[in-house]
Protein backbone atom coordinates (compact mmCIF):
# COMPACT_ATOMS: atom_id res chain seq x y z
CA UNK A 1 0.00 0.00 0.00
CA UNK A 2 1.24 3.49 -0.85
CA UNK A 3 1.99 5.38 2.39
CA UNK A 4 3.15 8.67 0.85
CA UNK A 5 1.38 12.03 1.34
CA UNK A 6 0.43 11.95 -2.34
CA UNK A 7 0.69 9.73 -5.39
CA UNK A 8 1.39 11.15 -8.84
CA UNK A 9 -0.27 9.02 -11.50
CA UNK A 10 1.33 9.48 -14.91
CA UNK A 11 -0.91 9.81 -17.96
CA UNK A 12 -2.21 6.29 -18.59
CA UNK A 13 -2.77 5.18 -22.17
CA UNK A 14 -4.45 1.78 -21.96
CA UNK A 15 -5.24 -1.15 -19.68
CA UNK A 16 -5.63 -4.92 -19.87
CA UNK A 17 -5.22 -7.99 -17.71
CA UNK A 18 -6.76 -9.73 -14.71
CA UNK A 19 -7.49 -8.43 -11.22
CA UNK A 20 -8.55 -10.49 -8.19
CA UNK A 21 -10.69 -8.35 -5.89
CA UNK A 22 -10.60 -8.23 -2.09
CA UNK A 23 -13.63 -9.27 -0.05
CA UNK A 24 -16.72 -7.11 0.36
CA UNK A 25 -16.66 -4.66 3.27
CA UNK A 26 -20.44 -4.80 3.62
CA UNK A 27 -20.44 -8.59 3.84
CA UNK A 28 -17.26 -8.84 5.92
CA UNK A 29 -18.39 -6.66 8.83
CA UNK A 30 -21.89 -8.14 8.86
CA UNK A 31 -20.47 -11.66 8.95
CA UNK A 32 -18.02 -10.79 11.73
CA UNK A 33 -20.76 -9.47 14.00
CA UNK A 34 -23.17 -12.31 13.19
CA UNK A 35 -20.43 -14.84 13.94
CA UNK A 36 -19.75 -13.09 17.25
CA UNK A 37 -23.42 -13.17 18.26
CA UNK A 38 -23.92 -16.83 17.30
CA UNK A 39 -23.39 -20.05 19.17
CA UNK A 40 -20.44 -22.12 17.94
CA UNK A 41 -17.30 -21.35 15.98
CA UNK A 42 -17.44 -19.72 12.56
CA UNK A 43 -14.63 -19.92 10.02
CA UNK A 44 -14.81 -16.82 7.82
CA UNK A 45 -12.95 -17.34 4.54
CA UNK A 46 -11.70 -14.58 2.20
CA UNK A 47 -12.37 -11.88 4.80
CA UNK A 48 -11.50 -8.37 3.67
CA UNK A 49 -8.31 -7.17 5.38
CA UNK A 50 -8.94 -3.44 5.77
CA UNK A 51 -9.17 -0.64 8.30
CA UNK A 52 -12.93 -1.17 8.77
CA UNK A 53 -12.68 -4.91 9.43
CA UNK A 54 -9.75 -4.36 11.80
CA UNK A 55 -11.93 -1.95 13.77
CA UNK A 56 -14.69 -4.56 14.05
CA UNK A 57 -12.30 -7.37 14.98
CA UNK A 58 -10.68 -5.22 17.68
CA UNK A 59 -14.11 -4.44 19.16
CA UNK A 60 -15.17 -8.10 19.16
CA UNK A 61 -11.92 -9.06 20.84
CA UNK A 62 -12.60 -6.53 23.60
CA UNK A 63 -16.10 -7.99 24.02
CA UNK A 64 -14.68 -11.45 24.70
CA UNK A 65 -14.79 -13.31 21.37
CA UNK A 66 -12.07 -15.83 20.68
CA UNK A 67 -10.44 -14.78 17.40
CA UNK A 68 -7.78 -16.71 15.47
CA UNK A 69 -6.20 -15.72 12.12
CA UNK A 70 -4.85 -18.15 9.54
CA UNK A 71 -4.00 -16.43 6.27
CA UNK A 72 -7.19 -14.82 4.98
CA UNK A 73 -9.37 -17.05 7.17
CA UNK A 74 -10.54 -15.93 10.62
CA UNK A 75 -12.03 -18.25 13.23
CA UNK A 76 -14.46 -16.63 15.65
CA UNK A 77 -15.78 -18.28 18.80
CA UNK A 78 -19.28 -16.87 19.14
CA UNK A 79 -20.79 -15.49 22.33
CA UNK A 80 -24.19 -17.19 21.82
CA UNK A 81 -25.89 -13.88 22.57
CA UNK A 82 -24.19 -13.47 25.96
CA UNK A 83 -21.43 -10.90 26.36
CA UNK A 84 -18.36 -11.98 28.33
CA UNK A 85 -17.66 -8.44 29.42
CA UNK A 86 -20.10 -5.76 30.50
CA UNK A 87 -17.75 -2.80 30.12
CA UNK A 88 -15.62 -1.62 27.22
CA UNK A 89 -14.35 1.49 25.45
CA UNK A 90 -14.60 0.84 21.70
CA UNK A 91 -12.88 2.83 18.96
CA UNK A 92 -14.87 2.61 15.70
CA UNK A 93 -12.64 4.62 13.34
CA UNK A 94 -14.85 5.84 10.49
CA UNK A 95 -16.59 2.49 9.97
CA UNK A 96 -20.35 2.94 9.65
CA UNK A 97 -20.72 -0.80 9.01
CA UNK A 98 -19.18 -1.39 12.44
CA UNK A 99 -20.56 1.30 14.76
CA UNK A 100 -24.22 1.13 13.73
CA UNK A 101 -24.93 -2.62 14.11
CA UNK A 102 -22.63 -2.85 17.12
CA UNK A 103 -24.49 0.02 18.81
CA UNK A 104 -27.79 -1.81 18.34
CA UNK A 105 -26.47 -5.17 19.56
CA UNK A 106 -24.83 -3.71 22.66
CA UNK A 107 -27.86 -1.53 23.42
CA UNK A 108 -30.26 -4.50 23.60
CA UNK A 109 -27.78 -6.66 25.54
CA UNK A 110 -26.84 -3.85 27.93
CA UNK A 111 -23.74 -2.92 29.87
CA UNK A 112 -21.37 0.01 30.23
CA UNK A 113 -20.01 0.76 26.76
CA UNK A 114 -18.50 3.81 25.10
CA UNK A 115 -18.31 4.01 21.29
CA UNK A 116 -16.37 6.73 19.48
CA UNK A 117 -14.33 7.24 16.32
CA UNK A 118 -12.39 9.69 14.20
CA UNK A 119 -13.71 13.27 13.92
CA UNK A 120 -15.65 12.51 10.71
CA UNK A 121 -17.46 9.65 12.47
CA UNK A 122 -18.71 12.21 14.99
CA UNK A 123 -20.33 14.09 12.07
CA UNK A 124 -22.16 11.06 10.66
CA UNK A 125 -25.78 10.81 11.87
CA UNK A 126 -26.91 8.00 14.13
CA UNK A 127 -29.89 9.70 15.78
CA UNK A 128 -32.59 7.76 13.88
CA UNK A 129 -31.11 4.46 15.07
CA UNK A 130 -30.81 5.73 18.64
CA UNK A 131 -34.43 6.95 18.57
CA UNK A 132 -35.59 3.52 17.39
CA UNK A 133 -33.61 1.73 20.12
CA UNK A 134 -34.93 4.08 22.80
CA UNK A 135 -38.47 3.02 21.82
CA UNK A 136 -37.49 -0.45 23.09
CA UNK A 137 -36.21 0.89 26.37
CA UNK A 138 -32.52 0.93 25.47
CA UNK A 139 -30.41 3.43 27.35
CA UNK A 140 -28.16 5.38 24.99
CA UNK A 141 -26.69 8.78 25.76
CA UNK A 142 -24.87 11.19 23.47
CA UNK A 143 -21.57 12.29 24.96
CA UNK A 144 -20.98 14.92 22.25
CA UNK A 145 -23.50 16.46 19.86
CA UNK A 146 -27.06 15.10 19.97
CA UNK A 147 -27.77 12.79 17.04
CA UNK A 148 -24.14 11.82 16.47
CA UNK A 149 -21.42 9.66 18.06
CA UNK A 150 -19.73 9.40 20.49
CA UNK A 151 -22.23 7.37 22.50
CA UNK A 152 -22.55 5.77 25.91
CA UNK A 153 -24.68 2.64 26.29
CA UNK A 154 -26.16 1.54 29.61
CA UNK A 155 -28.49 -1.17 30.88
CA UNK A 156 -31.86 -1.37 29.06
CA UNK A 157 -35.38 -1.95 30.33
CA UNK A 158 -36.84 -3.64 27.27
CA UNK A 159 -40.48 -3.54 26.17
CA UNK A 160 -41.14 -5.40 22.94
CA UNK A 161 -44.90 -5.24 22.52
CA UNK A 162 -45.23 -2.41 19.99
CA UNK A 163 -43.70 -2.15 16.51
CA UNK A 164 -40.36 -0.33 16.41
CA UNK A 165 -40.38 2.61 14.00
CA UNK A 166 -37.18 3.61 12.17
CA UNK A 167 -36.56 6.08 9.36
CA UNK A 168 -35.44 4.51 6.12
CA UNK A 169 -34.56 7.60 4.07
CA UNK A 170 -31.21 8.55 5.63
CA UNK A 171 -29.24 5.30 5.79
CA UNK A 172 -30.20 1.66 5.29
CA UNK A 173 -27.61 0.82 7.96
CA UNK A 174 -30.10 1.84 10.67
CA UNK A 175 -32.53 -0.88 9.59
CA UNK A 176 -29.68 -3.35 9.12
CA UNK A 177 -28.53 -2.66 12.69
CA UNK A 178 -32.01 -3.40 14.10
CA UNK A 179 -32.42 -6.53 12.00
CA UNK A 180 -29.11 -7.87 13.32
CA UNK A 181 -29.67 -6.93 16.96
CA UNK A 182 -33.30 -7.83 17.62
CA UNK A 183 -33.01 -11.63 17.22
CA UNK A 184 -31.04 -11.42 20.49
CA UNK A 185 -34.24 -10.44 22.35
CA UNK A 186 -36.97 -12.15 20.31
CA UNK A 187 -38.90 -13.83 23.12
CA UNK A 188 -41.93 -12.80 21.07
CA UNK A 189 -42.41 -11.61 17.49
CA UNK A 190 -40.53 -8.34 17.01
CA UNK A 191 -41.86 -5.96 14.34
CA UNK A 192 -39.94 -3.14 12.66
CA UNK A 193 -41.87 -0.51 10.70
CA UNK A 194 -39.90 1.61 8.22
CA UNK A 195 -40.96 5.26 8.13
CA UNK A 196 -40.57 6.92 4.74
CA UNK A 197 -38.98 5.52 1.60
CA UNK A 198 -36.29 2.94 2.30
CA UNK A 199 -33.09 3.80 0.44
CA UNK A 200 -30.33 1.41 -0.60
CA UNK A 201 -32.62 -1.63 -0.57
CA UNK A 202 -29.92 -3.94 -2.01
CA UNK A 203 -27.94 -3.54 1.21
CA UNK A 204 -30.97 -4.77 3.18
CA UNK A 205 -31.10 -7.76 0.84
CA UNK A 206 -27.49 -8.53 1.80
CA UNK A 207 -28.46 -8.34 5.48
CA UNK A 208 -31.48 -10.64 5.06
CA UNK A 209 -29.42 -13.12 3.04
CA UNK A 210 -26.73 -13.31 5.71
CA UNK A 211 -29.23 -13.49 8.57
CA UNK A 212 -30.69 -16.58 6.91
CA UNK A 213 -27.21 -18.14 6.75
CA UNK A 214 -27.01 -17.70 10.54
CA UNK A 215 -30.44 -19.20 11.21
CA UNK A 216 -32.68 -16.11 11.28
CA UNK A 217 -35.62 -16.09 8.86
CA UNK A 218 -37.04 -12.56 8.73
CA UNK A 219 -40.55 -12.08 7.34
CA UNK A 220 -41.20 -8.89 5.41
CA UNK A 221 -44.15 -7.05 3.90
CA UNK A 222 -42.66 -5.18 0.97
CA UNK A 223 -40.03 -2.80 2.27
CA UNK A 224 -42.22 -1.27 4.99
CA UNK A 225 -42.53 -3.96 7.69
CA UNK A 226 -40.11 -6.61 8.90
CA UNK A 227 -40.92 -9.28 11.51
CA UNK A 228 -38.38 -11.32 13.45
CA UNK A 229 -40.18 -14.49 14.62
CA UNK A 230 -40.38 -15.36 18.31
CA UNK A 231 -37.67 -17.74 19.42
CA UNK A 232 -35.18 -16.71 16.74
CA UNK A 233 -31.66 -17.74 17.68
CA UNK A 234 -28.33 -17.25 15.98
CA UNK A 235 -26.42 -20.39 15.05
CA UNK A 236 -23.08 -20.51 13.26
CA UNK A 237 -23.09 -22.01 9.75
CA UNK A 238 -19.60 -23.33 10.49
CA UNK A 239 -17.92 -22.03 7.35
CA UNK A 240 -18.84 -18.95 5.36
CA UNK A 241 -17.10 -17.36 2.37
CA UNK A 242 -17.02 -13.61 1.75
CA UNK A 243 -17.72 -12.50 -1.80
CA UNK A 244 -15.35 -10.08 -3.46
CA UNK A 245 -16.45 -6.47 -3.22
CA UNK A 246 -18.86 -5.41 -5.97
CA UNK A 247 -18.30 -1.72 -5.18
CA UNK A 248 -14.57 -2.19 -5.76
CA UNK A 249 -15.37 -3.99 -9.01
CA UNK A 250 -16.88 -0.74 -10.33
CA UNK A 251 -13.43 0.87 -10.76
CA UNK A 252 -12.21 -2.00 -12.91
CA UNK A 253 -15.45 -2.19 -14.88
CA UNK A 254 -14.93 1.52 -15.61
CA UNK A 255 -11.28 0.80 -16.42
CA UNK A 256 -12.40 -1.70 -19.05
CA UNK A 257 -14.89 0.79 -20.51
CA UNK A 258 -12.32 3.64 -20.63
CA UNK A 259 -8.88 2.10 -20.95
CA UNK A 260 -9.02 -1.03 -23.08
CA UNK A 261 -7.97 -0.87 -26.71
CA UNK A 262 -8.71 -3.21 -29.62
CA UNK A 263 -8.34 -6.79 -28.47
CA UNK A 264 -7.76 -5.87 -24.82
CA UNK A 265 -10.02 -6.58 -21.86
CA UNK A 266 -10.14 -6.38 -18.07
CA UNK A 267 -11.02 -9.65 -16.32
CA UNK A 268 -12.34 -9.24 -12.76
CA UNK A 269 -12.28 -12.34 -10.54
CA UNK A 270 -14.16 -12.89 -7.29
CA UNK A 271 -17.55 -11.40 -8.14
CA UNK A 272 -20.00 -11.94 -10.97
CA UNK A 273 -23.59 -12.34 -12.03
CA UNK A 274 -24.49 -14.50 -9.00
CA UNK A 275 -23.45 -11.84 -6.46
CA UNK A 276 -25.77 -11.08 -3.52
CA UNK A 277 -24.52 -7.47 -3.55
CA UNK A 278 -26.69 -4.77 -5.05
CA UNK A 279 -23.69 -2.92 -6.47
CA UNK A 280 -23.30 -5.67 -9.07
CA UNK A 281 -26.00 -3.72 -10.92
CA UNK A 282 -23.31 -1.17 -11.70
CA UNK A 283 -22.70 -3.44 -14.68
CA UNK A 284 -26.06 -2.34 -16.12
CA UNK A 285 -25.14 1.35 -15.77
CA UNK A 286 -21.73 0.78 -17.35
CA UNK A 287 -23.37 -1.04 -20.25
CA UNK A 288 -25.76 1.90 -20.72
CA UNK A 289 -22.67 4.10 -21.06
CA UNK A 290 -21.19 1.77 -23.66
CA UNK A 291 -19.12 -0.87 -21.84
CA UNK A 292 -19.17 -4.41 -23.19
CA UNK A 293 -19.49 -6.84 -20.29
CA UNK A 294 -19.58 -10.64 -20.18
CA UNK A 295 -20.27 -12.17 -16.77
CA UNK A 296 -20.03 -15.57 -15.10
CA UNK A 297 -20.91 -16.72 -11.58
CA UNK A 298 -17.79 -15.18 -10.03
CA UNK A 299 -16.08 -13.25 -12.82
CA UNK A 300 -16.59 -10.36 -15.23
CA UNK A 301 -14.85 -9.47 -18.49
CA UNK A 302 -15.07 -5.87 -19.68
CA UNK A 303 -14.09 -4.20 -22.94
CA UNK A 304 -14.50 -0.75 -24.39
CA UNK A 305 -17.61 -0.51 -26.58
CA UNK A 306 -18.97 2.91 -27.48
CA UNK A 307 -16.40 5.71 -27.52
CA UNK A 308 -16.87 8.31 -26.33
CA UNK A 309 -19.07 6.85 -23.63
CA UNK A 310 -22.79 7.62 -23.72
CA UNK A 311 -24.23 10.18 -21.30
CA UNK A 312 -26.91 8.83 -18.95
CA UNK A 313 -29.65 10.14 -16.67
CA UNK A 314 -29.95 7.56 -13.90
CA UNK A 315 -31.68 7.00 -10.55
CA UNK A 316 -28.77 5.60 -8.51
CA UNK A 317 -30.60 4.69 -5.31
CA UNK A 318 -29.85 1.01 -5.95
CA UNK A 319 -26.07 1.52 -6.33
CA UNK A 320 -25.20 4.41 -3.98
CA UNK A 321 -21.50 3.60 -3.50
CA UNK A 322 -20.70 2.38 -7.00
CA UNK A 323 -22.52 5.36 -8.54
CA UNK A 324 -19.54 7.55 -7.60
CA UNK A 325 -17.57 5.79 -10.33
CA UNK A 326 -20.16 6.90 -12.89
CA UNK A 327 -19.41 10.53 -12.03
CA UNK A 328 -15.82 10.17 -13.24
CA UNK A 329 -16.86 8.06 -16.24
CA UNK A 330 -19.09 11.02 -17.16
CA UNK A 331 -15.94 13.00 -18.03
CA UNK A 332 -15.51 10.69 -21.03
CA UNK A 333 -19.17 10.85 -22.20
CA UNK A 334 -20.76 12.43 -25.25
CA UNK A 335 -23.14 14.67 -23.30
CA UNK A 336 -24.32 15.70 -19.84
CA UNK A 337 -24.75 12.93 -17.26
CA UNK A 338 -27.15 13.28 -14.31
CA UNK A 339 -27.01 10.97 -11.28
CA UNK A 340 -30.17 11.21 -9.16
CA UNK A 341 -31.51 10.02 -5.79
CA UNK A 342 -28.08 10.08 -4.14
CA UNK A 343 -28.90 12.05 -0.97
CA UNK A 344 -27.14 9.33 1.06
CA UNK A 345 -23.83 10.57 -0.41
CA UNK A 346 -24.12 13.55 1.94
CA UNK A 347 -23.74 11.40 5.10
CA UNK A 348 -20.99 9.00 4.01
CA UNK A 349 -17.26 9.16 4.82
CA UNK A 350 -17.46 12.75 3.58
CA UNK A 351 -20.18 14.82 1.89
CA UNK A 352 -19.61 13.01 -1.36
CA UNK A 353 -21.81 15.20 -3.53
CA UNK A 354 -19.90 18.34 -2.53
CA UNK A 355 -16.53 16.58 -2.65
CA UNK A 356 -17.18 15.05 -6.08
CA UNK A 357 -18.33 18.39 -7.52
CA UNK A 358 -15.29 20.22 -6.14
CA UNK A 359 -12.75 17.74 -7.49
CA UNK A 360 -14.41 17.28 -10.90
CA UNK A 361 -14.27 21.07 -11.38
CA UNK A 362 -10.51 20.97 -10.73
CA UNK A 363 -10.19 18.74 -13.80
CA UNK A 364 -12.10 21.30 -15.87
CA UNK A 365 -15.63 19.85 -15.78
CA UNK A 366 -18.79 21.92 -15.38
CA UNK A 367 -20.76 20.47 -12.48
CA UNK A 368 -24.13 21.22 -10.92
CA UNK A 369 -25.00 19.76 -7.54
CA UNK A 370 -28.28 19.56 -5.66
CA UNK A 371 -29.55 18.06 -2.43
CA UNK A 372 -29.81 14.62 -4.03
CA UNK A 373 -28.26 14.84 -7.49
CA UNK A 374 -25.13 15.73 -9.41
CA UNK A 375 -24.94 16.76 -13.07
CA UNK A 376 -21.66 16.59 -15.01
CA UNK A 377 -20.84 18.08 -18.39
CA UNK A 378 -18.03 16.14 -20.06
CA UNK A 379 -14.66 17.28 -21.35
CA UNK A 380 -14.80 16.33 -25.03
CA UNK A 381 -11.65 18.18 -26.11
CA UNK A 382 -8.17 17.44 -24.81
CA UNK A 383 -7.48 21.18 -24.43
CA UNK A 384 -10.24 21.47 -21.79
CA UNK A 385 -8.64 19.02 -19.35
CA UNK A 386 -6.52 20.40 -16.54
CA UNK A 387 -3.82 18.80 -14.45
CA UNK A 388 -5.17 18.57 -10.90
CA UNK A 389 -4.33 17.63 -7.36
CA UNK A 390 -7.27 15.63 -6.04
CA UNK A 391 -8.12 16.04 -2.37
CA UNK A 392 -9.53 12.75 -1.09
CA UNK A 393 -11.19 13.83 2.19
CA UNK A 394 -10.00 10.63 3.95
CA UNK A 395 -12.52 8.85 1.69
CA UNK A 396 -11.34 5.69 -0.03
CA UNK A 397 -13.87 5.96 -2.85
CA UNK A 398 -12.77 9.47 -3.80
CA UNK A 399 -9.20 8.24 -4.25
CA UNK A 400 -10.17 5.22 -6.31
CA UNK A 401 -12.69 7.04 -8.52
CA UNK A 402 -10.35 9.85 -9.47
CA UNK A 403 -7.51 7.53 -10.41
CA UNK A 404 -9.53 6.93 -13.60
CA UNK A 405 -8.93 10.55 -14.62
CA UNK A 406 -5.35 9.55 -15.44
CA UNK A 407 -6.68 8.17 -18.76
CA UNK A 408 -7.49 11.72 -19.91
CA UNK A 409 -6.90 12.52 -23.62
CA UNK A 410 -4.68 15.48 -22.75
CA UNK A 411 -2.03 13.10 -21.33
CA UNK A 412 -1.94 15.06 -18.07
CA UNK A 413 -0.81 13.56 -14.77
CA UNK A 414 -3.18 13.35 -11.79
CA UNK A 415 -2.02 13.75 -8.21
CA UNK A 416 -3.99 11.81 -5.58
CA UNK A 417 -3.57 13.15 -2.05
CA UNK A 418 -3.44 10.71 0.89
CA UNK A 419 -3.51 7.56 -1.28
CA UNK A 420 -3.34 5.35 1.81
CA UNK A 421 -7.00 6.16 2.55
CA UNK A 422 -7.87 3.27 0.20
CA UNK A 423 -6.90 0.95 3.09
CA UNK A 424 -10.49 1.29 4.31
CA UNK A 425 -11.59 -1.28 1.72
CA UNK A 426 -8.83 -2.01 -0.82
CA UNK A 427 -5.29 -1.55 0.59
CA UNK A 428 -3.59 -2.64 -2.67
CA UNK A 429 -5.82 -0.70 -5.05
CA UNK A 430 -3.14 1.43 -6.70
CA UNK A 431 -0.80 -1.52 -7.13
CA UNK A 432 -3.66 -3.41 -8.81
CA UNK A 433 -4.54 -0.46 -11.06
CA UNK A 434 -0.96 0.16 -12.19
CA UNK A 435 -0.33 -3.53 -12.79
CA UNK A 436 -3.10 -3.41 -15.43
CA UNK A 437 -2.17 -0.04 -16.94
CA UNK A 438 0.24 0.97 -19.67
CA UNK A 439 1.83 4.33 -20.38
CA UNK A 440 4.43 5.74 -22.75
CA UNK A 441 8.03 5.24 -21.65
CA UNK A 442 8.51 9.01 -21.53
CA UNK A 443 5.85 9.23 -18.80
CA UNK A 444 7.53 6.73 -16.47
CA UNK A 445 9.31 8.64 -13.69
CA UNK A 446 12.98 7.84 -13.08
CA UNK A 447 14.44 7.86 -9.58
CA UNK A 448 18.22 8.24 -9.28
CA UNK A 449 19.88 6.85 -6.16
CA UNK A 450 23.38 7.94 -5.21
CA UNK A 451 25.62 6.97 -2.33
CA UNK A 452 28.93 5.38 -1.31
CA UNK A 453 29.84 1.74 -1.76
CA UNK A 454 27.78 -0.71 0.36
CA UNK A 455 25.20 1.96 1.22
CA UNK A 456 22.35 -0.15 -0.15
CA UNK A 457 21.83 1.50 -3.56
CA UNK A 458 21.54 -1.82 -5.35
CA UNK A 459 19.10 -3.24 -2.84
CA UNK A 460 16.82 -0.21 -3.05
CA UNK A 461 17.01 -0.16 -6.85
CA UNK A 462 16.05 -3.85 -7.03
Q: What's the whole-model pTM score?
A: 0.85
Q: Is the peptide bond before 67 cis (omega within 30 degrees of 0)?
A: no
Q: How confident is the model at residue 314 (pLDDT cuts 50, 70, 90)?
A: very high
| H or E stretch at 390 | strand 388-390
Residue range 287-300: average pLDDT? Answer: 96
Q: Is the dihedral of CA 130, 134, 138, 141 positive or negative?
A: positive
Asked whether the predicted pLDDT for residue 2 surpasses 80, the reply is no
pLDDT given at position 457 = 83
Asked whether the predicted pLDDT for residue 255 surpasses 90, the reply is yes
Question: Which positions ≥6 away from 446 have C-beta within 8 Å?
Answer: none
pLDDT tens for residues 127-140?
999 999 999 999 99
CA separation for the pair 243, 22 (Å, rounded):
8
pLDDT tens for residues 195-209?
999 999 999 999 999
Active site residues: 321
Helix (H, G, I), strand (E, B), or coil: what is residue 432?
helix
User: What's the mean pLDDT when you consider all of the chain?
Assistant: 95
**Start-to-end Cα distance in the chain:** 18
Residue range 441-456: average pLDDT? Answer: 84
Asked whether the predicted pLDDT for residue 236 surpasses 70, the reply is yes
Q: How confident is the model at residue 373 (pLDDT cuts 50, 70, 90)?
A: very high
pLDDT tens for residues 13-26?
999 999 999 999 99
| Rounded percentage of the chain residues whose pLDDT exceeds 90 | 91
| CATH number of 6-22+244-443, picked from 3.90.870.10, 3.30.1370.10, 3.65.10.10, 1.10.940.10 | 3.65.10.10
CA separation for the pair 73, 66 (Å, rounded):
14
pLDDT tens for residues 416-440?
999 999 999 999 999 999 999 999 8
What is the 3-state composition of the chain as percent helix, strand, coil, each rounded to the nearest 5?
Answer: 35, 25, 40
Asked whether the predicted pLDDT for residue 190 surpasses 90, the reply is yes
pLDDT given at position 443 = 86
pLDDT given at position 11 = 96
DSSP-derived secondary structure letter, 310: P
79 touches 59 (CB < 8 A): no
Domains of the chain: which residue ranges? 6-22+244-443, 25-241
pLDDT tens for residues 56-89?
999 999 999 999 999 889 999 999 999 999 999 9
Q: Under CATH, which architecture does the 25-241 domain have?
A: Alpha-beta prism (3.65)
pLDDT given at position 1 = 58
pLDDT tens for residues 114-160?
999 999 999 999 999 999 999 999 999 999 999 999 999 999 999 99
Lowest mean pLDDT among 115-129, 171-185, 345-359, 372-386: 372-386
Strand order through the sheet with 164-167: 164-167, 190-195, 225-228, 219-221
Spell out where 169-245 has E strands. 190-195, 219-221, 225-228, 239-241
Answer whether 6-22+244-443 and 25-241 agree in fold.
yes
pLDDT given at position 262 = 81
Amino acid sequence: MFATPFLDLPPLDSASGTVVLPGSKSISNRVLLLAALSGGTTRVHDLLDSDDTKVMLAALDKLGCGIRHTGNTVEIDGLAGQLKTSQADLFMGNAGTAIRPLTAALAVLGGDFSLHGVPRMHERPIGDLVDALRQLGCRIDYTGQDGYPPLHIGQPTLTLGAPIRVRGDVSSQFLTALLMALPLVSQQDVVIDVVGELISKPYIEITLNLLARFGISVQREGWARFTIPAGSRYQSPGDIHVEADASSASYFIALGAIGTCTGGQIRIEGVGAASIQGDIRFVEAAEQMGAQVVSGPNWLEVRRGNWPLKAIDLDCNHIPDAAMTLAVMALYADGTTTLRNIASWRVKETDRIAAMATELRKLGATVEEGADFIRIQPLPNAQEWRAATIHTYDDHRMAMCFSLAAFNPASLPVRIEDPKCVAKTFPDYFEALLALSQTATAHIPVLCIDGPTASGKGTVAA
